[in-house]
Structure 1
């Protein structure tokens, strides 16, 4: 078919002629509308950060989660503050002080709660221990009582050493005292001081008879007041927490540390990394696109033409996004980079086609309409089919990608309009000159000519690749872990992953709701029997069993400890000689004990303590100045004794425990487990590591069989992933049908339609196999790759088929036309746009860039190598015998 006489040819030719003749007014109008777009977008475009909000509110799991948040609003967009300290006393004290600080800050927080520090748990904490544990604490407290009583009167290092010396003498005399935990605790504390990382001695751990760990954590739940008028809605509450931490002394050198995670912090960091990644990728994409343009058109005027049309189209698309949607999300925010990769394609094809027509020697006024008439129809087909590929996202339940589809699909239409209007206008001032072929691309042409001489080999290799890809399809995975989308090095993600390692406090648990106590008990009974479930926690578990017997043991502890109180500690001058003498006596006594009873159960711990004391005395002897000795002795005194008064105070409070029933639990605790309308919150913890997708599925599906309305992070991750996969199967199917119908209408040829679609389907198939080869699973961000490749690849395929079928270019000549050069350079710009996403800190965006880059490369191979062979085979069949 000769398109030079067609109506579309005349339409596009006249369009270009008009833009050329009215160039000044066209450019002026473009600048004005660009300025308006900038102002309008800057003042009205917002950003949504909640990943689950990208799915329709009608999806069942979102309905369940909404009910949960209505019943327990304190968990909505919450912050989880993690206090780390070398002792439980220090972690508790800081957490309690920080909670009180945040509770007073009504400007930035609705509420803040520290359940472990609630007075109810402080007073009744011993009731949650087992009877054997309480018996052991009673025995250790009885052994430590004389030491505590003496230290209460005079809490100094020399008193501490003297009492320990007396205790070792008791061991020597044959008395049965369990001092192993005390010896080990003191040794660990002294050794930490020598190692340059001092930590205090935990008396709470000594009373419990445990080994002191390096780190203890306390968790604070805070519900921030989001300012949705700001881009980063939780920025001010996060800033307030940081300021509070500094005010409370949680600086870099302090032993206690504060880390922030939780839904709000993760969303903040994810948006920050996505924004920063999009910004960096956009800049990199522009630089790379300019470099490609330097190779492709090699004139400043042509580069200005392409970049002006690119920027104008980008601004108009952003204004459209502002008007049509009003906001961007963590996926649609990538539209700018996608547009940069795609938006230059039309301008490159137009300019290179014009350059080819100009070789006739006619003036621009004559050649420009010819070029526009020739290329206009192909550009229209590309724009329509690519837009359909994007618009196919709109009907899906994945609202986040539906918005990207609407924005990007409309962006392709805008890009077409801008190209057909602005490029001809700028040709009046920057007409593209004739371009000499670059020697550097001859190897590319040589490589492309290979299929012409090895068509059978191409078909065989293609068949093998297709079969291999089909075999790989069952191994394609979807990563349901929303955490894997974010920058893995930010504090919120690292802290969240740390919490996942602790099964007791893991945020990865399922929440079920029960309307009354009876339903809660039934659910607990059924859920506890699942092999996929480790434990189930409700408010019913907050009423301990065997309370009467435990109360008797606690009363016995209280009688053993007695009415001990610590007088206020006043800084006083350290008697170096007295403390040295006491330490030396303790060291000598330990030595005698080890000589006399080397096989004693406490011998190993006593030997370690003796060695630590020897090291301490050697350090003190090596200090010449008395002031230095005083400083070291004071530091050791603080390490060993400064937590004792608080530990005793907390113990005495715990010794006031009284038996209680469920109705006696205070509201400060109850609100986290039983709502005001008596809805019970049930926390279900997994028995497996549900970072594994298969384990996640088993856990969620097992729980859902008993509690279909369950929610929580595991349910949301799995159900959202399933919804996204279904949405993209739907989107890909719609895109495929829509593109095929559009091609049939626009090309009016089944054969041409098949030729256009063949390389696209091959590229999509190969891209799916690449995810297996590269071990890059699909996720909530990169799953858009396949439908996008379908939309993107249309351009290359349409131009190649259009040039071959409508101008009768032979295979060998086709490779050296402006069409092939434009396809090649357009693919390079697209790869530059998508490839730049790989460097984003946002892992979802980076993986999307990787898959899109791989998809474009495969599309280029399919279009420039496989498609010409198919075109040759079709042409050969059409030739008469």
Structure 2
């Protein structure tokens, strides 16, 4: 293996820099200043996960076409209002919605419970059976509604309850029993109000939660476009609480808010990780060099490399993404590698008493080939990301590829120009050879055995294609998103199809109802209720009695003490009702003053419920022209393009359900677009990208190594440990619940790109000395160890990030680099001894 030209190339670079230190230092200072200016004036970050996939991918094409027709739907903000009762949640939503629609940060708002269209026509959207049940319950409650009137008192309620219990015809037993239970809870809980909405609703009680959506006005001139609308919502929610006394928890989610909070998590996590990695790297360098000057010089080269790489990134792409932004932390580890190898070898030579020039020359002869080869091989491994459809991986690969070459040039020119290693360098302690020979071979067998065993776990490795798996669980928008996902009717995992006419819309809607995974299909005409004539006749029939009950003035003659006594008697006579017995026990223990103090909480939401009933009875025939504009804008464009919204059975929360839903819909509508398809298809693209990048990196690196060394032995020495490290990393992630995702999917290609450095240094040293164990024991092994540790320190710091994607990247890369270190230090030397010994035997046989 004749590679003297590479040794000579390194020596010429170092000699040029030593002879012209001011020129070299000035050049890099000028380039660094220019890079800083470029970054400050031009950098931006795109947090949209879907934009990390090539726009030519079929699902991106469908998504782009849909977004062109309905550009605002993808930027909607969803607000979740949670309160103690459905009544309070609805009241709070009414107040909040009225305030928000007047804000400049909101262009449109759709809150169905507060929308007049649904308040008046809501009954028409029930099925005939549901409507009959509700009207029967209200009709049975008509005497109670009539007696309470618009301004009821506890005396009125007590007297009406007693009369209902005595006669059994004022309300059905179920309603009475529920009223007993709620009264008991209100009277024994100071902050609890009675829910009339629950009492008068048939079937399952309504949730004390309301979801509504709004179209935000986003300020794209700022790094966080949704920050203003988020703050507006929170401000108005606080105003509702302080001015009305209503209490509710307000959660905010939706793509713009998720991206804003994700950017905050990534930027804060990456910044902190960058600082920690610098500290950890500095500590490791101090152990490697035992010299503050050398540590400082190396940190300078790292800083220069990171800044220059950032400048290159902005110049090439301008806008980075959540994956490529991690290059800064990545370059801290990579930027140190070349400096560590260079300085450790020069320092060891100086410790032997040779001159500084001679130390540089001997270092170039010793590691010149390896050092000159590691830069292009690592860069090639990163550049292999470029052809993939995964733009996140694509960008990071190109940036890191140029960054590696930059770090190499900075290290081999700036360090010789500014660093002078004096005569006082002391030799570094080395592990005794006999102990090394006792440790490495057995450890190599263990690592090799684990590597082979890990291959059997590869079929269980999985890829988590859900972008939500990247985000911090504690982020408010993620908590809100999880609440939305639990609501099957509001699930974000849905699909959309476009139609150019009403006939096409209705035809496609009919076909899309067929798949078993489809729960319902929504479109503009879905807001025209079915069987309106029958439903209106039912409402008209019920409104005869209910209408009078709702306009009655109520019972103004009831007195508290007689009503209370009458109720106590009727409760005592109730047979088999535990709720009646509990209420009687509570009433016996309360004073009249305490009861009157609880009265406002009993009737807090009664006027609102009474008004809602009056509105519902005013339902009239609905045509498509009556659908509010805020709904029309979401289902039809001005030029007549219709939107068809397809909802999955069960919300498609589980991955298998989502895949079935998407595949079945695509069979009927190949042009379907939406979050359900985006998440699945993106996962498929990224999985292919990982395999493609890994294979491309392996092939390119192999070809370069063969072209330079013309040795299959060296190639095997490099590839076998890397394959073992990759398999061990995947198996470890599988065992410890660290699946591949959008962020950490680039771990395997990175292992090839970074791990190849260690292999090249050890393999070339073993080739030159003929003793792989000596290579591990000497300065090369020490440099490989500290180089790997600094890389681990820089990657490991990402684990502290609140962003789960970034944290998983740090965790899996740390695991990967530990396995790279184990395979290179323990598996490679015995393998080298075997291969070189085998080659020598073959050569001897041929000679004989």
* TM-score of the aligned structures, taking structure 2 as reference length: 0.93
* 1:516 counterpart = 2:501: yes
TM-aligned CA distance change 1:760 to 1:512, over 3 Å = same
Q: Is 1:853 matched with 2:814?
A: yes
1: CA distance between counterparts of 2:489 and 2:650? 13
The C-alpha deviation readout for 1:762-784, integer Å capped at 9, x for no partner, is 22222222232223221111110
Partners of 1:328 and 1:133 in 2: CA distance:
53
Which residue pairs with 1:260 in the alignment? 252
Per-residue deviation, 1:346: 0.8
Q: 1:132 to 1:55 in 2, by over 3 A?
A: closer
Greater shift in the superposed pair: 36-45 or 182-191: 182-191
Q: CA deviation at 1:179?
A: 5.0
Cα distance in 1 for partners of 2:675, 2:424 equals 59
The match for 2:239 is 247
Tell me what 2:310 maps to. Answer: 318
Give the whole-Å Cα distance in 2 for the aligned partners of 1:714 and 1:368. 59
Q: C-alpha distance in 2, partners of 1:675/1:250?
A: 40
Counterpart-to-counterpart distance in 1, 2:340 and 2:312: 24
Contact (CA 8 Å) 1:85, 1:256: kept in 2 or not? Answer: yes
Equivalences, count: 841
Question: Which secondary structure does the structure 2 equivalent of 1:125 belong to?
Answer: helix
Moved more, 57-66 or 541-550: 541-550
Task: Give how far 1:715 is off.
Answer: 0.5
Q: 2:800 aligns with which of 821, 824, 839?
A: 839
Q: Residue in 2 aligned with 1:752?
A: 714
Q: In the alignment, is the contact (CA less than 8 A) between 2:494 and 2:647 conserved in 1?
A: yes
In the alignment, the residues of structure 2 paired with residue 699 and residue 687 of structure 1 have an alpha-carbon distance, to the nearest angstrom, of: 8
Kindly indicate whether residue 203 of structure 2 is the aligned counterpart of residue 207 of structure 1: no
Cα drift, residue 411 of structure 1: 0.6
Q: 2:566: which partner in 1?
A: 589
Q: 1:604 to 1:868 in 2, by over 3 A?
A: same
Once residues 633 and 742 of structure 1 are traced to their aligned partners in structure 2, the CA distance between those partners, rounded to angstroms, is: 88
Structure 2 gap segments, 5+ residues each: none
Q: For 1:328, what is the secondary structure of its paired residue?
A: strand
Unaligned regions of 5+ residues in structure 1, if any? 570-574, 622-628
Q: Does 1:598 align with 2:575?
A: yes
5 Å matches for 1:332-731?
332-428=324-420, 431=422, 434-438=425-429, 442=431, 448-450=436-438, 454=442, 458=444, 461=446, 464-562=449-547, 582=560, 585-586=562-563, 588-599=565-576, 603-615=577-589, 617=590, 620=591, 629=593, 633=595, 635-688=597-650, 690-731=652-693
Query: Aligned pair 1:816/2:777, yes or no?
Result: yes
Question: In the alignment, which residue of structure 2 is the partner of 1:95?
Answer: 93
Question: Does the CA contact (< 8 Å) of 2:339 and 2:411 recur in 1?
Answer: yes
User: Structure 1, residues 731-771: CA drift from partner, whole Å, max 9, x if none?
Assistant: 22221221112112232333322322222222222222223
Residue 693 of structure 2 aligns to a residue in which SS?
helix
Q: Please give the alpha-carbon distance, in whole angstroms, between the structure 2 residues aligned to 1:447 and 1:342.
A: 31
- Compared with structure 1, are the counterparts of its residues 453 and 734 closer, same or farther at alpha carbon in structure 2 (3 Å cutoff)? closer
Contact preservation (8 Å) 2:180, 2:579 = no
Residue equivalent to 2:188: 194
Q: Report if aligned partners of 1:281, 1:839 keep a CA contact under 8 Å in 2.
A: yes
1:644 and 1:847 map into 2 onto residues whose CA distance is: 52
Q: CA–CA distance in 2 between the matches of 1:823 and 1:768? A: 23
Q: Quote the Cα distance in structure 1 between the aligned partners of 2:487 and 2:809.
A: 32
The C-alpha deviation readout for 1:224-259, integer Å capped at 9, x for no partner, is 233333222222222222222222227999522211
- Per-residue CA deviation, residues 621-647 of structure 1 (Å, 9 max, x unaligned), is 7xxxxxxx4xx5565222111211121
Indicate the larger mover: 88-97 or 546-555.
88-97
Q: CA deviation at 1:367?
A: 1.9
- Partner of 2:635, secondary structure, is coil
Matched, 1:272 2:264: yes
* 8 Å contact from structure 2 (residues 106, 216) kept in 1: yes
Take 2:533 and 2:239, find their aligned partners in 1: how far apart are those partners? Answer: 44
Q: Equivalent residue of 1:511, what SS?
A: strand
Counterpart Cα distance in 1 of 2:789 and 2:193: 61
For the residue of structure 2 that corresponds to 1:222, the secondary structure is strand
| Distance apart, 1:463 and its partner CA | 6.0
Residue by residue, what CA displacement relative to the aligned partner does 1:588-630 show, whole Å, maximum 9, x if unpaired? 434433544524xxx3332232233234x1xx47xxxxxxx4x
Residues 780, 112 of structure 1: alpha-carbon distance in 2 compared, 3 angstrom cutoff: same
Change (3 A) 1:433 1:544: farther
Question: CA separation of 1:858/1:452 partners in 2, compared to 1, >3 Å: closer, same or farther?
Answer: closer
Change in CA separation of 1:142 and 1:360 when aligned onto 2, cut-off 3 Å? closer
Decide whether the 8 Å contact of 2:113 with 2:119 is kept in 1: yes
Q: Distance in 2 between matches of 1:596 and 1:568?
A: 30
Change over 3 Å in CA distance of 1:29–1:452 after alignment to 2: closer
Deviation at 1:127, TM superposition (A): 1.1
Pairs within 5 Å for 1:99-114: 99-106=97-104, 108-114=105-111
Change (3 A) 1:716 1:817: same
- Aligned equivalents of 2:46 and 2:780: distance in 1? 41
Flag the 1:193–1:786 CA change in 2: closer, same or farther, 3 A: farther
Give the aligned partner of residue 138 of structure 2: 141
- Number of the residue aligned with 1:331: 323
Label 1:812 to 1:506 Cα distance change in 2 as closer, same or farther (>3 A).
Answer: closer
Q: Tell me, yes or no, if structure 1 residue 181 matches structure 2 residue 175.
A: yes
CA displacement 1:569-592 (0-9 Å, x = unmatched): 9xxxxx9xx99x72x655543443
State the alpha-carbon separation in 1 of the partners of residues 747 and 408 from structure 2.
22
2:144 corresponds to 1:170: no
Tell me the distance in 1 between the aligned counterparts of 2:196 and 2:609.
6
Partner of 1:873: 834
Distance of 1:515 and 1:307 partners within structure 2 = 62
**1:572 corresponds to:** none
> Would the alpha carbon gap of residues 51 and 211 (structure 1) be closer, same or farther in structure 2, given more than 3 Å must change?
closer
Q: Is the 8 A contact 1:355 1:433 kept in 2?
A: no
Tell me the TM-score normalised to structure 1 length. Answer: 0.89
